[in-house]
Structure 1
Amino acid sequence: MGPGMLLAMFGILVAGSIFAFFIGDFTASGNGTVSANGQVTLSQTQQIQEHVLQKREQIVANQWQTGLDASQIEQVQTQQVNVPSALLMSIGKVVNNLQPLQASLYYGYFMPQYTWIHEVDIKETFHDVTTCTPKGTCKTTCVENQQETPVTFLSYANTWDGTLTDTYVDVTTGHAGCPDGVWTSTWELLSSHRTYSWAKVWNLFAHIKTQQGTFIEDTANRDVLAGMIGAVDPSLGDPYVQHMVSGFNMVFQTGGLPPAGSNEPLPSAKVMSILQQAIGIVMAYNTAHDISGGVNESWLPYLAIIVMHESGGNPDAVDPILVDGEHASGLMQMLPSTFVSDHLGAYTDIWNPLDNAISAIGHIESAWGNPTNIPGVVAGTGVYHGY
């Protein structure tokens, strides 16, 4: 199987996983219940099943906590050098659609290593104590009280996406001596240096094959995995994850794919699946023909917007208005001549929604470069007028 065909398989099977993870549909492709307004939601039974799955993954991911006290656990979590359950879930999705769960196997590739330093914080207080004898002779003495508090700090961590090195310094404040002196010696963070690398992620995929073959190290696959991780836990500071999260935020804030629970309409789950397949097929074609800068998974919400503008999700829609003697037709309202010029291979049926979407993606690539360049697709760019 060549790299182009392999990418096509991943494009069809994995490209929709980001959307599925957004709505908590971890073992499917976003095919929850479609409400009257087009919003995809999960049934109560599905929600319970997916919640149980997520909790099981979390238990495995939390193994790093063994032997650490509450303060150490808090430091690890604050600095994000733990193993996120979102990582294990996303890898499981790619490897075998989380069936069966193999989180313990994946965890072995990411088990973090920590180095701790142990110091003592000191606080000294001073106050005068006056004592008098029965004869009235008084004497004032300066009394010192010292309080020592053991402290433990994380100085180094080697985790799933890189390393962390923290440096601490002893800071003294106040003054010693009576009548009311207070002197402290406390250890404080001086500097923190973080390096990021996905070497461990790609090492895992070099040893663990997916049901479709090897999940190769490339930008598209990294974005898919980072997108799924970010959909589950958008707070992670990993730059690849945040790159995808920033894209999600832009979509949500500028009129793109509505998050679950909103009242904005989406195409049906079936149409979303078709768009996902079309993206994967065109991505595979572009890879096989060394075409760069074309469609990727981030196009999905924008294509969904275009579908709703053009046909309302109806693959049999026909525009009664003639354009150069032709009626725009099908899911993405392609003019027959444009459909023919932009179709791929055997995908030649304008009334087949998959074929229609594939041709539409090709047209957007050549005419617009990116769907965000089409007026009206992104909020604040004018009224939608077609593409």
Structure 2
Amino acid sequence: MNLVSGDMLWTNINKIPEKYSYLSEDINCDVLIVGAGITGAICSYYFTEAGIQTAIIDKNIIGYGSTSASTSILQYEIDTDLVGLKGTLGLDNAVECFKLCEKTVYEIEKVVDNLDCKCGFNLRDCFYYTDSEADVSRLKKEYEVRKNHGFNVEFIDSKKANNMFSFPVKAGIYSRSGAGDIDPYSFTHKLISHSIKKGLRVFENTEMISIRQLSEEVEVTTKNRFKINTKKVIFASGFEAKEMIDSKTAILTRTFTLVTKPIGNFDGWNNRCIIRNTNNPYTYLRTTSDDRIIIGGEDLELGGKNSKVSCLTNDDTVVIDKYGILNNRLLSMFPKIDNMEVEYRFSGLFGESGDGLPYIGEYEKYPNCYFCLGYGSNGILYAVIGAQLIRDLYLGNPSKLLDLFKIDR
């Protein structure tokens, strides 16, 4: 499968800051993290900050997998609306999940400050809207539930929207807290660099091929036949870890992304907020610290490992059509922005859970192992939430939140 395809923004604007060796001897550690993309890097940060002897491995170059194709939108909103999640989890649990995501945006702000590197991080407003009259009443109900539970939101009707945006809006929810964006590649490497100073050992181009339970430890064998003995393993390898789980945990999709060259103005775009519509699949937009626009969406369900969607390349007619749709949408949404020229076009495979929530915690088939799988659009926030919950579980302080995110829910 082609995990990512195309010209990647983050790995083009950032040089590889550090190259790491592959594992060339047997080692021991307290915790082994499998997967050194942004999720694994976040886990390494929280575990080494807690003084836990940690190692991390990745079968590729660090940050060149799904991390390189992440649009890295950070927002309290979950793929499943609060009203919809209420029907699945109950109101209190649904609100807690939304509040947890909101809190985590500011947790990332603290982490970035601790790294002493901005990593392209910005706090943003966000706008969730519809251009269909049929969705207005649903959005109004969603707004009322959010407002009644303390979220800093405003309902935007079509008249208000005309003064804020240059594209058609029937109604929307404008949120003034709990959102942001970041450069995921820079963030990943800064997290790992910081964690190395705390004792993290890093091995890239080191693929795990087997795992064996010992009496009190786990033995991981790499492709080069070296062994890692560890008390616990954290699987932070995204959709690849899906193959280890018997139940259907996620639907895999390919999402498509365009990135413009830096532009001179953002006319018709209120406060450069994060934008998402109610369509299925939805379209999402953000800006970057160097004044680019990122637009993504037009998702296609995978349909199996050997399906055409799983193997698409950037010159496939399906991909070209998707890029064309996104480009036309961008031009129609912002006619007041001059000289918008697309510089990067890429796609990536991502997982979506049925309820929009991550899978975090233990799985009975693999004793002494933890899973941190942030499926859905909130993957980075879920990685932070998962790293904190798993750290606390390791230290003997399990949270009741693990019941909401358990793999066999």
* TM-score (normalised: structure 2): 0.20
Higher strand share: 2
Whose helix fraction is larger, Structure 1's or Structure 2's? 1
Relative to the length of structure 1, the TM-score reads 0.21
| Larger-Rg structure | 1
Q: Name the structure, 1 or 2, with higher relative contact order (CA <8 Å, separation 6+).
A: 2
